[in-house]
Amino acid sequence: MTSGKDPAGHLGQVDVAVVGAGFNGLYQLYRLRQEGFSVAVFEAGAGPGGVWYWNCYPGARVDSHVPNYEFSMEQIWRDWYWTERFPSQPELQRYFHHVVDVLALAPDIYYETRVENARFDETANRWSVETSSGVTAEARHLLVCTGFAAKPYVPDLPGLERFEGICHHTARWPQSGQSFDGLKVGVIGTGASGVQVVQEAAKTAAELTVFQRTPVMALAMQQATMSVEEQDEAKLGYAEMFRVRNEPPGSFADLIRLNVSAMSVDEAERNRVYEQAWARGGFHFWAATFNDILTNEQANRTSYDFWRDKTRARLQDPAVAELLAPTDPPYPFGTKRPSLEQDYYDVFNQPNVALVDVKADPISEVTPVGVRTADRSFELDMIVLATGFDANTGGLSQLGVEGRNGMSFAEYWADRVQLNLGVAAAGFPNLLFLYGPQSPTAFCNGPTCAELQGEWVVDTLRHMRDEGYTRLESTPEADAAWSEHCDAIAAATLFGQADSWYMGANVPGKPRQLLNYPLVDGYLAKLAETAAAGYPGFELS
């Protein structure tokens, strides 16, 4: 299937079925077609972009700066211009449509088509795929490109269904929009989406109440507008920039840690490095200072203290300052993904904005007219659930995918998550994950990972075809070994000390383990080593 769409909805046999039309799904479609594979992409949204289709709440924007956060293919960036260093969701949506148009991907993408069932046929070594729109296919390979943020998490809030006002989760915001103007707004949650919504709601809401469980360590975004002229000049060096970005350690062309301990320099030098990274904005303060920030508690404390003092200097009320930037860290700095902010802390100086510490004063119920905590009641017109995602595995577990013996992802991962290299699972032949659990994912810039991890998948499928293999499956031993390796990484770093979605700890009852692999360069090396050695840990037949 390379041109047009079967109006009957029966695609017959295709080489590859792809679930999701975000960065990974689009890249696989582009590259696999180049290699002569027939491909069908199934996307639940009405347009491309994956998370950038669904997350359309006010203020939504990416936390990785461009041109890092885009594909490296010249035919895409040559005639594309951004307006901001950190683009907004509407601009990212336009970018994805640009990608689809330039690469002529539309004929093979099925929008508003959610994969409802996919079963592996042992005899044919193919996946039978059924979708919500009635489109079906028999695919040799199934590539799951749903990303780590496909299932919103809604905490158990008694009475939520009785609320008579407006209520939206940030990940399911109405595509038609929703204004805060003149409303009494309550925002529950202070992660990335909470930070962005609070910044917007504070501008026009009559009253804004922010319900905080754990303080977010948000970093200065240092947003900037981008002119056509300066981008034209910068594009002279794009080819080299993307070459550097796509080589180990990968992910970002300009985020490289110093090969120096924070404790090996004096305080003046340490502060100089921190000030320089802070001024550059974005993730520089998180990912481009000293080499032991995430492994040494003493070094980590120096970065926290610097962040705390920068933040508290912007807050007028000492009590609010202690809640937003406590004297002592609530968790090691950087072990939860930092959010980026523009004026998040400043809005708490406004008379229309209030902060509620729900650890000290927990939410007891949602009433028809607002929220009641242990000590107070808040009348609200609108509740925003900025409560994040059942990240990494939630979106996968809700897919109707059945491997050998009818096993689902949820059943296979009931006790703990196990994937070989974060790309395959025993019992699910000819199925590969991209940007999934136990791969770099949240530590790797999205489009970069789509290309780097994506090329390994393309090479693997091409190898199978060229060598006459019709089946590839991970072994239980390889799955377990990689999971244990991830555990060892967590133990050797400070990540295990935080109740983060990296660790699955934001969802009650979820097994607590490191679900994102933080060593991008080591991961890419392991992928290359596995392919060069003939895919040990996989059964090819």
pTM: 0.96
Only one residue has tokens 């679900």, namely 515
pLDDT tens-digit series, residues 260-283: 999 999 999 999 999 999 999 999
- C-alpha torsion sign, points 201, 205, 211, 217: positive
Residue 308 is predicted with a pLDDT of 98
Residue 1 is predicted with a pLDDT of 34
Helix/strand/coil for 124: coil
Residue 521 is predicted with a pLDDT of 86
Only one residue has tokens 């520089």, namely 284
Q: Characterize 324-353 residue by residue with b for buried, 16 or more Cβ atoms within 10 angstroms of its Cβ, and e for exposed.
A: bbeeebbbbbbbbbbbbbbebbebbeeebb
* Averaged pLDDT for residues 227-249: 92
CB 422 within 8 A of CB 439: yes
CB 186 within 8 A of CB 165: no
Other Cβ atoms less than 10 A from the Cβ of 303: the count is 25
Residue 299 has pLDDT above 50, yes or no: yes
Residue 277 is predicted with a pLDDT of 97
Q: How confident is the model at residue 250 (pLDDT cuts 50, 70, 90)?
A: low
Residue 186 has pLDDT above 50, yes or no: yes
* Averaged pLDDT for residues 511-525: 92
Residue 2 is predicted with a pLDDT of 33
Q: Please identify, in words, the CATH class of the domain defined by 10-151+391-472+517-540.
A: alpha beta
Residue 354 has pLDDT above 90, yes or no: yes
Other Cβ atoms less than 10 A from the Cβ of 295: the count is 14
pLDDT tens-digit series, residues 453-474: 999 999 999 999 999 999 999 9
The pair of structure tokens assigned to 160 is 């939520």
CB 489 within 8 A of CB 483: no
Residue 197 phi, psi dihedral angles, 5° rounding: -65, -45
Q: What is the mean pLDDT of the chain?
A: 95
What whole-number distance in Å separates Cα of residue 497 and Cα of residue 334? 11
Q: How confident is the model at residue 220 (pLDDT cuts 50, 70, 90)?
A: very high
Residue 257 is predicted with a pLDDT of 85
Burial of 210 (0-12, 13-18, 19+ CB in 10 A): buried
Q: How confident is the model at residue 4 (pLDDT cuts 50, 70, 90)?
A: very low
Q: How far is CA 476 from CA 156, 410, 414, in A?
A: 35, 16, 15
CB 194 within 8 A of CB 218: no
Show me where the domains of the chain are located: 10-151+391-472+517-540
pLDDT tens-digit series, residues 376-435: 999 999 999 999 999 999 999 999 999 998 999 999 999 999 999 999 999 999 999 999
Residue 3 has pLDDT above 50, yes or no: no
The DSSP secondary-structure symbol of 442 reads G
Only one residue has tokens 């390889």, namely 478
Q: How confident is the model at residue 118 (pLDDT cuts 50, 70, 90)?
A: very high
User: 485: closest CA among 540, 528, 522, 448?
Assistant: 522
Query: What are the residues facing 497 on neighbouring strands?
Result: none
CB 110 within 8 A of CB 43: yes
pLDDT tens-digit series, residues 45-91: 999 999 999 999 999 999 999 999 999 999 999 999 999 999 999 99
